[in-house]
Structure 1
Amino acid sequence: MLRKIAFGLLWLGFITYAFVFAPDDQPDTLELIKNLSTGQWQGINPLVVALFNIMGVFPIIYSAVLFIDGRGQKIPAWLFAIPSFAVGAFAILPYLALRESNKRFTGKKDFLLKLLDSRFTGIALTLGTIILVGYGLRGDWGNFIQQWQTSRFIHVMSLDFCVLCLVFPALLGDDMARRQVKNPQLLWLISFIPLFGPLIYLSVRPPLLENSPEAVSTKQAIAN
């Protein structure tokens, strides 16, 4: 219950800050978003370009855990995972507040789950992110800080990045339990590395074991 309350308060606090205390919108925000979305990056700080694209990587990182975790939840994970591509942590935090602990996976992996569960997906995301970070490091930090101080879009997107880095470990305990990871300490430490920690985790985690509902029932009966 404390976990649910904490994530709920974090979500409400983030919304309040974004719409009340963050800097005002700039007149060119919609034009900036359109140019970032369509690849028209001329004249845009590479740091902003990299951050914007990394915020498209994060929903895939979370989806690689959420869609599997959601198999045993009362609430469908896609209701939160899909909107996260547009609003980031504003969609992820409610899921974290509403979900229940789920240490088992039952049934078979469909094509989407096989793709999200694949280490190759994690490796591909890692390589793509390295390229984005390398591109972003060419940017002007002074200009970025100025935009962070004056633009609600840049300001909130930056905080969104920080929140997504912060809360990812909340999903790891159950995900590792489903994979029967026996020595999770190293993976826990890795997960706290901003951005690249979750990517490394997706690249090295053991594959998810498939179980039919009947098999799970049999194991529970034997255990009892």
Structure 2
Amino acid sequence: MASSSQSHLLSLPLPHSPSSFLSKPRTPHLPLTYPSPIHQRTVPLLTLNPRPMNGFQPHIHHHQHHSIARQRLLLVCCSSIESQNNSEGNEEDMPVRKVRNKRVSDWTTSVLLFGFWAGLMFYIFQLTPNQTPVRDEYFLKKLLNLKGDDGFQMNEVLVAEWYIMGLWSLIYSMLLLPTGRSSQSKIPVWPFLVLSLVGGCYALIPYFVLWNPLPPPVEEDELEKWPLNFLESKITAAITLAAGLGCIVYAGLANEDIWKEFYQYVRESKFIHIMSIDFSLFTAFSPFWVYNDMAARKWKGSWLLPLALVPLLGPALYILLRPSLSALPTISAATTETE
């Protein structure tokens, strides 16, 4: 009986017999999932000290351990060198990018300014009114004192504007020499200033197109020579301001009929129409050149910049109050360092 029961018990199929393992494939363990992505864990690609899994400590040979450590160290070194090279490349590229952007900006400004000047020349020669050419010739001779006293009284506003245009050329000479000179384009400014005595701001705009800062350094002996000694003189600046104030007061005291007559001249006369536009151009460009001169002299007189918008009187007041170049011995050194 005991033997039969033992054989009966031994004949029972085991649920986990070797045949069952061979007949049925094992299902792999699914990874643990967490309820939200916040709790998901990231496994590092390389670990120097692997953790035991299910109580089993994997055996790593000594040479494998050092191989993994070397790979880890190599990855760290390569990533640090790459990041350093990228940072150094960015630092080296930054000045190049700035120079490239500055060149593009300068070229864009020059092209736009040249287009403006070309359109202005087309308007002057083709579209300006020219109803009184004989009267224009007479007015021009009277203003140049080529005609004697014939009993005709010129319009006071027209006379004031005529003399103001000459003062504008003098003021721009004080602003462009020497701080408005161009050292990179190698184009002298004095021919344009000479032509501005006849052509006004129309003759200066081509120089504005070609102008490229920074100005060249100023030598000490250059300040003692003409024309810088004349243009840097406070006496010249005071006379210019007084003359400009006198012209504006002379035109401002004219009655309403004289101003209406002047406006009629502007609508009919080619000569007076062009001169009035020239006055507006001088006024529009003067704040920029005042700021450029102020920056070159390193003078913190920014409160004068709004006054530069006042026609003629604002730039003339700045020239009177600005520091002299002779009082700034470091201007040439500072300009050279900036280059």
Normalised TM-score (structure 1) = 0.87
Identity within the alignment, %: 27
Who is 1:55 aligned against? Answer: 165
Decide whether the 8 Å contact of 1:77 with 1:95 is kept in 2.
yes
- Are residues 1:175 and 2:290 paired? no
Partner residue of 2:156?
46
**RMSD (Å) for aligned C-alpha atoms:** 2.5
Tell me, in whole angstroms, the C-alpha distance in 1 between the residues paired with 2:329 and 2:181. 15
Give the whole-Å Cα distance in 1 for the aligned partners of 2:295 and 2:251: 36
Larger relative helix fraction: 1
**Could you tell me how far 1:211 is from its partner in structure 2?**
5.4
The residue type equivalent to 2:197 in the other structure is F
Determine which of 137, 161, 175 is the counterpart of 1:30: 137
Q: Using a 3 Å threshold, how does the CA distance of structure 1 residues 6 and 187 change in structure 2: closer, same or farther?
A: farther
Q: 1:120-147: per-residue Cα shift (whole Å, max 9, x none)? A: 2221111111211222232601101111
Is residue 145 from structure 1 mapped to residue 263 from structure 2 by the alignment?
yes
Q: Residue 111 of structure 2 aligns with which residue?
A: 5
Q: Do 2:182 and 2:215's aligned partners in 1 also have CA atoms closer than 8 Å?
A: no
Q: Deviations over 1:53-100 (max 9, x none)?
A: 111111000001222122736111111000100010111111111111
> C-alpha separation between the residues in 2 aligned to 1:196 and 1:113?
21
- Residues 64 and 117 of structure 1 are in contact (CA less than 8 Å); yes or no, is this contact kept in structure 2? yes
Q: CA deviation at 1:106?
A: 2.4
Q: Are the counterparts in 2 of residues 50 and 135 from structure 1 also a CA contact under 8 Å?
A: yes
Is 1:78–2:78 an aligned residue pair? no
Distance 2:303 2:311 in 1: 15
The partner residue of 1:194 within 311, 314, 323 is: 311
Distance 2:248 2:207 in 1: 28
SS in 1 for 2:285: helix
| Cα drift, residue 104 of structure 1 | 5.6
1:107 corresponding residue in structure 2: 219
Pair 1:92-2:92 in alignment: no
Deviation at 1:216, TM superposition (A): 2.9
Higher relative contact order (CA 8 A, sep 6+): 1
> Following superposition of structure 1 onto structure 2, how do residues 59-70 of structure 1 map, counting pairs within 5 Å?
59-68=169-178, 69-70=180-181
Moved more, 27-36 or 84-93: 27-36
> Aligned AA for 1:121?
T
Match of 2:123 in 1: 17
What residue is the counterpart of 2:76 in the other structure? none
CA contact (8 A) 1:57 1:125 kept: yes
Quote the residue 1:162 is aligned against.
280
Q: Gapped runs of 5+ residues in structure 2? A: 1-105
Whole-Å Cα distance in 2 between the matches of residues 128 and 112 of structure 1? 20
**Whose Rg is larger?**
2
Unaligned runs of 5+ in 1: none
The SS at the match of 2:162 is helix
Rounded to whole Å, the distance in 2 between the matches of 1:216 and 1:206 is: 17
Residues 34-64 of structure 1: per-residue CA shift (max 9 Å, x gap): 1101185842101111101111111000001
8 Å contact from structure 2 (residues 129, 268) kept in 1: yes
Kept after mapping to 2: 8 A contact 1:4/1:98? yes
